[in-house]
Structure 1
């Protein structure tokens, strides 16, 4: 259950409710193991706030979970691939559907700890309908994952729905770094405004060498990030391409483990 505390009244609240109804209807129709199911919405229990209802995920989000249960590189790549599979599903719908707020806090771990899913799908529409501050704004606290064209829209010429899918891809690149390091993008910077200025100046999050090896076996991961963070959003790869590259890294990691195990058995 998630309570969305918006403070509109009268016609503004009705407009917001219509936008919410459209989004939750779409969410209700989604069916994929890596997308958190939607169960319903309640507009009365916490009135005037809205209540979104979805399955309770006991293990919480992937970042909090990993802090208590450290994940090895294989597990991190597995969960990253699962999120990519969820994005392939969303972006492959007709018409394509954008998540709108991809980050570690919106990736939940299953009860059996073997898979993860994207949560808080579609809530970004509420921000576009509301001009007032909200405690649950889907982009509040998400600037570190936000593509440059959304940090400063007037500086970019591409507009409309065509921006939404590339925004997901950019955020996913930031989330890959977050999963691999356990820290948010630009974790060395304390102020979001500083992050915004860095991104608009062309800087991107860094991936420490201790997070993933910088060698030919994992070159695909670095290629993913480079592509996801392209300044020109039309140059960012599709979710399917990202998934394929992650899978290559998984395969190479598996081969490396098998070779290492074989060598150890000979000693």
Structure 2
């Protein structure tokens, strides 16, 4: 095999390898020794993973694992298996995450035909390779046997898979999902693709809005939406999801026309709800394929007139967020500009534009909306940046500190405000769960306060601080099957604690000590209010329930919202009366002292 045939074959086999790992992990098995030598090809040219001598079940206890060195060839061994103490691990047993690391190294081996770290001459025990791995060094981007390199998307995914922190690596299922959206697999290579001209595409797209003809797909609703978009993008009618690969083979100019039309159609369907969910999902799949294959972005997403206000980020806590302004109708509106992190910069439009499409229907008063994207804001980069509304009072924890410093939020006013914000956060998170989205292990820095002192959750990662202190125990452990909604409930409890203390959970402990506390089913101590006293019993009970070690025992966000509604409404009248009484007493004391207390 040479040229395109070689690349197509490797693409297919790499995909089948991750599908095999996904299956094993789904059954609770860790392979433990993945590399090219343990990947066999059968007569049908399909992958078969082999050599399970080092495999183990995830439930196996430490001494039941036969290998003391952690298993696997040294060129494919994850850093946590080389130096387990650095990662706070009590064992060097392979895990799901170490399998993902080995998968990345196997990709290098298959595409290049050489071992990872091919520039290092192996010594007797692989010491030099191990040292470089523990220094967070990784193999260089490989060249293919016939020249050239692997695609940008595949290289970015490979780098993600061998991230130094095992908790940050994707699961096998996530890798498979990412690969399915890449223009890598040549599963439908035998079907001829129609190289259309721009005129032909425009005509085909024009026909879409004028016809209701159904082609090749059975809709569940009486609303029979035309599938001409698919015949315009490929010669054959879509009868299987694998045929989406044809969309990736359009000319770039045609792809831009197609993505602009699809975006317009998606906006119309979201606004009018006139199309079926199935239709929207298909359009979203086509749009994601176009974005990943051609790095095209819907023209309507780009915002003109955006300028930066200074060259420095907003605060050291948010190194990727900058202040900006937007010209609208002769007026300047302040906005927040998020410059993508290193991972997003690997393929600038891909992740951000796909997020725009996936999250386009997240519209809620307590969820921060994405206004659009902009390019050319930084002199050294054409990176696409995300544009958000400017939240005048900033991150909620910083805002609470600011108010306290200025003599506000004293006494009962503190509990009234914090309980209101907790309730709003819960409402926003409940809405996100209803839409199928989660926040992951996030600190209170994902919550912002607007000028009206109401809060918004950002569903997008905007900072790179370590958020492991807000992680649920199942996420810190080796569980592969995670209930992400229950994980969010645990994180919500941590954010509630943070609002009361302005400190992260287990703030008096090191990261490893805090991790051990969580894994030992311990919870942070009950906090005291800044001006004395403890938080209400009902609220503390709710937070403790959110921290239940077993995900199934945690309340849903809907249940959290209902509990907080009762707490807020029940205390509000008494609290407001108490606040007014305290303010009146302070005024009387001030008057009696003749203002000398200032």
Superposition TM-score, scaled by structure 2 size: 0.36
Equivalent of residue 123 in structure 1, options 453, 457, 461? 461
Superposition map of 1:155-166 within 5 A = 156=479, 158-159=481-482, 163-166=483-486
Equivalent of residue 351 in structure 2, options 4, 8, 19? 19
Equivalent of residue 249 in structure 1, options 567, 592, 595? 567
**Matched position secondary structure for 2:359:** helix
Q: What is the alpha-carbon distance in structure 2 between the residues aligned to residue 180 and residue 65 of structure 1?
A: 12
Superposition map of 1:127-206 within 5 A = 136-137=463-464, 140-152=465-477, 154=478, 156=479, 158-159=481-482, 163-189=483-509, 191-206=510-525
User: Larger RCO: Structure 1 or Structure 2 (Cα < 8 Å, ≥ 6 residues apart)?
Assistant: 1
Q: What is the alpha-carbon distance in structure 2 between the residues aligned to residue 207 and residue 197 of structure 1?
A: 18
Cα gap change, 1:213 to 1:250, in 2 (>3 Å):
farther
Cα gap change, 1:101 to 1:198, in 2 (>3 Å):
closer
**Matched position secondary structure for 1:204:** coil
Q: What is the alpha-carbon distance in structure 1 between the residues aligned to residue 352 and residue 461 of structure 2?
A: 8
Q: Note if contact 1:169-1:236 (Cα within 8 Å) is conserved in structure 2.
A: yes
Cα gap change, 1:45 to 1:257, in 2 (>3 Å):
closer
CA offset at residue 103 of structure 1?
A: 2.3
Q: Note if contact 2:447-2:457 (Cα within 8 Å) is conserved in structure 1.
A: yes
Q: What is the alpha-carbon distance in structure 2 between the residues aligned to residue 51 and residue 254 of structure 1?
A: 41
2:400 — aligned with what?
Answer: 66
CA offset at residue 158 of structure 1?
A: 2.8
Cα gap change, 1:105 to 1:7, in 2 (>3 Å):
closer
1:104 — aligned with what?
Answer: 444
Q: What is the alpha-carbon distance in structure 2 between the residues aligned to residue 181 and residue 237 of structure 1?
A: 23
Which runs of no fewer than 5 residues in structure 2 stay unpaired? 1-336, 583-598
Q: Note if contact 1:6-1:49 (Cα within 8 Å) is conserved in structure 2.
A: no
Q: What is the alpha-carbon distance in structure 2 between the residues aligned to residue 240 and residue 103 of structure 1?
A: 21
Q: What is the alpha-carbon distance in structure 2 between the residues aligned to residue 150 and residue 105 of structure 1?
A: 20
CA offset at residue 102 of structure 1?
A: 3.5
Cα gap change, 1:210 to 1:8, in 2 (>3 Å):
closer
Q: Note if contact 2:416-2:575 (Cα within 8 Å) is conserved in structure 1.
A: no
Q: Note if contact 1:5-1:49 (Cα within 8 Å) is conserved in structure 2.
A: no
Write the deviation string for residues 201-238 of structure 1: whole angstroms up to 9, x where unpaired.
Answer: 212222223368558xx332122112111111122111
User: Which one has the largest radius of gyration?
Assistant: 2
Q: What is the alpha-carbon distance in structure 1 between the residues aligned to residue 343 and residue 566 of structure 2?
A: 47
* Farther-moved stretch of structure 1 (232-241 vs 35-44): 35-44
**Matched position secondary structure for 1:248:** helix
Q: What is the alpha-carbon distance in structure 2 between the residues aligned to residue 44 and residue 232 of structure 1?
A: 47
Q: Note if contact 2:344-2:352 (Cα within 8 Å) is conserved in structure 1.
A: no
1:54 — aligned with what?
Answer: 388
Cα gap change, 1:58 to 1:209, in 2 (>3 Å):
closer
Equivalent of residue 210 in structure 1, options 529, 537, 543? 529
**Matched position secondary structure for 1:117:** strand
Superposition TM-score, scaled by structure 1 size: 0.77
Q: What is the alpha-carbon distance in structure 2 between the residues aligned to residue 22 and residue 263 of structure 1?
A: 53
Q: What is the alpha-carbon distance in structure 2 between the residues aligned to residue 214 and residue 88 of structure 1?
A: 27
Q: Note if contact 1:98-1:122 (Cα within 8 Å) is conserved in structure 2.
A: no
Cα gap change, 1:234 to 1:43, in 2 (>3 Å):
farther
Q: What is the alpha-carbon distance in structure 2 between the residues aligned to residue 208 and residue 27 of structure 1?
A: 36
Q: What is the alpha-carbon distance in structure 1 between the residues aligned to residue 525 and residue 399 of structure 2?
A: 22
Q: Note if contact 2:352-2:386 (Cα within 8 Å) is conserved in structure 1.
A: no
Q: Note if contact 1:172-1:228 (Cα within 8 Å) is conserved in structure 2.
A: yes
Q: Note if contact 1:24-1:38 (Cα within 8 Å) is conserved in structure 2.
A: yes
Cα gap change, 1:180 to 1:8, in 2 (>3 Å):
closer
1:128 — aligned with what?
Answer: none
CA offset at residue 27 of structure 1?
A: 2.9
Which runs of no fewer than 5 residues in structure 1 stay unpaired? 125-135
Q: May I ask how many residue pairs the two structures share in their alignment?
A: 236
Equivalent of residue 361 in structure 2, options 17, 20, 29? 29
Matched, 1:2 2:338: yes
Instruction: Please report the RMSD computed on the Cα atoms of aligned residues, expressed in angstroms.
Output: 2.9
